[in-house]
Amino acid sequence: RHSVRTFATCARRMAQPPSAHTIAVSQAQGVARGLTGAIGNTPLIRLNKLSEETGCEILGKAEFMNPGGSVKDRAALYVVKDAEERGLLRPGGTVVEGTAGNTGIGLAHVCRSRGYKLVIYMPNTQSQGKIDLLRLLGAEVYPVPAVAFENPENYNHQARRHAERLDNAVWTNQFDNIANRRAHVETTGPEIWYQTGGKVDAFTCATGTGGTLAGTTRYLKDVSGGRVKSFLADPPGSVLHSYFSSGGKLVERSGSSITEGIGQGRITDNLQPDVDLVDGSLHISDEKTIEMVYRCLDEEGLYLGASSTLNVVAAKEVAEKLGKGHTVVTVLCDGAYRYAERLFSRKWLTEKNLLAAIPEHLQKYIVL
């Protein structure tokens, strides 16, 4: 693993890949300074079967290898560092966030390693497993009634008010805090550019807060002079695909998806500055996403969550659109560990009407 700064510096200087000497020097400096030093610099994995099938290079950024197990570790570190730099968070302070998922886990790791308390608000519809995990990572967790964002009792507003009541506390506000997207401008983007030696034609990923898509797109567009194409991948129940394909109209949110952590009903502040840089969008059905969960496991040995495999489907479709010889990069956001009892359960798949989406020869993986 290399330091983030080394990657970013190399990528900035890069007309060509860094020399063997540069790599040797950065490896010699490869000791992570505490847990937060181990966030990022994840491998870029070639998905062999899909690459052969499409005649393209399809590459997945292995974000499941971050210490907290997801891409959100990067944003967690950046929102905490940003609060420190602004003087909003001093030693012994408290971070407050509204989240039901990976951001909370990332924040829990970052806060423990830097000596902050963490308070998490989440809708009370979330599983006991998630609450237990956050608590054992040291967070104080408040499950609150699952009400709409417009209602002042929504978990996000409760998180904000909690931080306001405390001294030396910050509401990190992942959706509209642009330190989130900066994590990807400064780390994910440069890493992809460095790891591909600048040979990347397209980037695609789904959006939750929009940090990953917007930040990575911004960097890759800037460094390539606009040559790298960027595509949004969107699940059912999100409005972004229709926003992009209708030339910017926001419709009411309706429908739902088996994916977690992605899909959006508005243009967040993280997405806003770069929304015009996105070249196109793809709507990916749950049928395609679930089939790819099983294909990635069977063909590549990759045990991936549904947002990751939605991204892989999108990368395959972008590759087919661009034609042979192109390189398409996407994000493997997290592993299947936290979703196994659903994704590999016959009962759940039947309830969701998704059993038929899994080819016969892959059904041997349905063991729960």
The answer to whether residue 72 is catalytic is yes
Which residue's CB is nearer to ligand PMP, number 72 or number 218?
72
| Token pair of 313 as six digits | 């489907």
As given in the structure block, the two tokens for residue 3 are: 């330091």
Reference 47, options 337, 322, 308, 354; nearest CA is 308
Among 126, 188, 307, 330, binds ligand PMP (CB under 6 A): 307
The tokens of 288 are what? 């395609």
Does residue 211 touch ligand PMP according to CB under 6 A?
yes
The SS3 call for residue 193 is helix
106 binds ligand PMP (CB under 6 A): no
Q: Count how many residues are written for the chain.
A: 368
Catalytic annotation, pick one of 61, 72, 130, 229:
72
The CA R_g of the chain, rounded to the nearest whole Å, is 20
* Of residues 25 and 267, the one with the C-beta less far from ligand PMP: 267
Minimum CB distance to ligand PMP, residue 332 (Å): 9
Total chain residues near ligand PMP (CB under 6 A): 19
* Minimum CB distance to ligand PMP smaller for 154 or for 209: 209
What is the contact mask toward ligand PMP in residues 234 to 263, using x (rule: CB under 6 A)? --------------------------xxx-
Pick one of 41, 66, 188, 212: the residue that binds ligand PMP (CB under 6 A). Answer: 212
Question: Which one among 100, 328, 333, 336 touches ligand PMP, defined by CB under 6 A?
Answer: 333
Given strand 94-98, what is the order of strands in its sheet? 140-144, 117-123, 94-98, 169-171
Q: Which amino acid is at 157?
A: H
Among 274, 286, 317, 334, binds ligand PMP (CB under 6 A): 334
CA 274 to chain centre: 17
How far is residue 176's CA from residue 3's CA, in Å, rounded to a whole number?
27
CA 105 to CA 69: how far, in whole Å?
A: 8
- The single residue among 210, 235, 263, 335 that binds ligand PMP, judged by CB under 6 A, is 210
Calculate the CA 323 to chain-centre distance. 26
Closer to ligand PMP by Cβ: residue 94 or 103: 103
CA proximity to 274, closest of 337, 341, 205, 346? 205
Which residues are annotated as catalytic? 72
**Residues binding ligand PMP (CB under 6 A):** 70-72, 101-102, 206-212, 260-262, 305, 307, 333-334
